[in-house]
């Protein structure tokens, strides 16, 4: 069902938010978004279901299914020992190729593109009430860039500094099809999601409500 009111996005262009962090609006076509959303509907059927991780005794409002390696605070495992003990789905080859294209699109050199071999993806689902507090992605041994894709509802994404959860930070709108890549001096920047904008998912993106966020990373782990 098409939302009765979907805010029109202003004209948007690729932008370097801070050195090492780049936002590329509308990077995925509508057909690509729908195809990936269909894969998401397959992934959540298992063997490990969509689940909200528990961090320091609190259940996250964001729910996650993982590929390649299973993330649990604050480590990666092959089996989801905090859920049902099942081994997670393998990391798909098409996602490796997509990650390399993402680095190419954000100005990384040929050597960085060709050596990029993501081996895990945290696939997060946000409903209208979900939020994600400011945090660093630092459970990986590799300092390779993180590639983030948005499908569905838009969100307000806060991207900060490497020293603290406070200012300076930038708030930007991530909409369906957008790409965000952060690495280099921005690799350990604090970041989070302060709001999901309900009923902004465009028709034909493969999801009628909520936000799918795929973040692919290189763990630097063996085994």
Which domains does the chain show, CATH number per domain?
15-217 (2.60.120.590)
Cβ contacts of residue 58 below 8 Å, gap of 6+?
none
Per the CB < 8 A criterion, the answer to whether 175 and 8 are in contact is no
Pick from 190, 179, 178: nearest CA to 138: 190
Task: Compute the distance between CA of residue 191 and CA of residue 136 in angstroms, rounded to an integer.
Answer: 7
Q: pTM here?
A: 0.94
pLDDT attached to residue 8: 58
Task: Compute the distance between CA of residue 148 and CA of residue 182 in angstroms, rounded to an integer.
Answer: 8
Tally Cβ neighbours within 10 Å of residue 53: 17
DSSP conformational letter for 202: P
Question: What are the average pLDDT values for consecutive 10-residue runs of the chain, which has 223 residues?
Answer: 50 93 98 98 96 91 98 95 97 98 98 98 97 97 98 98 97 97 98 97 96 98 88
pLDDT attached to residue 5: 44
The answer to whether the Cα torsion of 99, 105, 111, 112 is positive or negative is: negative
pLDDT attached to residue 7: 52
Cβ contacts of residue 97 below 8 Å, gap of 6+?
none
CA-only gyration radius of the chain, Å: 16
pLDDT attached to residue 66: 98
CB half-sphere exposure, 155, CA atoms < 13 A: 33
């Amino acid at each position: 069902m098409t939302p009765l009111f979907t805010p029109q996005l202003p004209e948007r262009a690729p932008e370097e938010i801070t050195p090492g962090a780049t936002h590329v609006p509308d990077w995925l076509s509508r057909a690509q978004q729908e195809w990936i959303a269909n894969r998401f509907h397959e992934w959540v059927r298992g063997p490990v279901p969509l689940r909200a991780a528990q961090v320091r005794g609190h259940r996250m409002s964001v729910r996650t299914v993982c590929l390649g390696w299973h993330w649990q605070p604050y480590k990666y495992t092959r089996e989801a020992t905090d859920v049902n003990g099942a081994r997670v789905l393998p990391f798909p080859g098409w996602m490796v190729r997509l990650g390399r294209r993402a680095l190419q699109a954000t100005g990384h050199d040929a050597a960085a593109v060709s050596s990029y071999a993501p081996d895990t993806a945290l696939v997060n689902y946000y409903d209208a009430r979900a939020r994600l507090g400011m945090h660093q992605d630092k459970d990986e041994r590799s300092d390779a860039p993180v590639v983030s894709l948005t499908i569905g509802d838009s969100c307000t994404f806060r991207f900060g500094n490497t020293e603290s959860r406070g200012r300076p930070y930038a708030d930007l709108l991530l909409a369906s099809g957008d790409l965000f890549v952060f690495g280099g001096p921005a690799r350990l920047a604090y970041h989070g999601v302060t709001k999901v904008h309900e009923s902004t998912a465009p028709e034909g993106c493969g999801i009628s409500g909520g936000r799918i966020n795929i973040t692919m990373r290189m763990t630097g782990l063996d085994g």
